[in-house]
Amino acid sequence: MSELLGGLQDRTFARATAATAVSYPPERRLSAAQLASYLDRRAFAVVGSTRGNGRPHSAMSVFVRRGVTFWLPTMAGSVRERTCAARHGSRW
């Protein structure tokens, strides 16, 4: 299962800006097993996204992870709900 999480991390870094890639080169990143172990010991995270107008938004959130799927609570009308609905349409 940790290999799936490692693959998600690789795909995420492949889309990262040059500044992020330089800040977190492959040799400094957690291995797939280390990342899974780290996340399994956590219940909260700072979740970041961008608003519709491009401004950043971040908020502390509880989360549940199964494999590479993360569940985050949200409330109707919240920034997170609007962001997810805009990105995922009717699936949300």
User: 60-69, pLDDT tens digit by residue?
Assistant: 999 999 888 8
Give the Cα separation of 42 and 83 in Å (integer).
Answer: 24
Q: Which of 78, 83, 81, 76 is CA-nearest to residue 52?
A: 83
C-alpha neighbours within 13 Å on the C-beta side of residue 54 = 0
pLDDT at residue 71 tops 60: yes
Q: Which of 63, 7, 60 is CA-nearest to residue 31?
A: 7
User: 26-64, pLDDT tens digit by residue?
Assistant: 898 999 999 999 999 999 999 888 777 888 888 899 999
Per-residue pLDDT band at 89 (split at 50, 70, 90) = low
Q: Which of 32, 39, 25, 27 is CA-nearest to residue 6?
A: 32
- Residue 45: per-residue pLDDT: 92
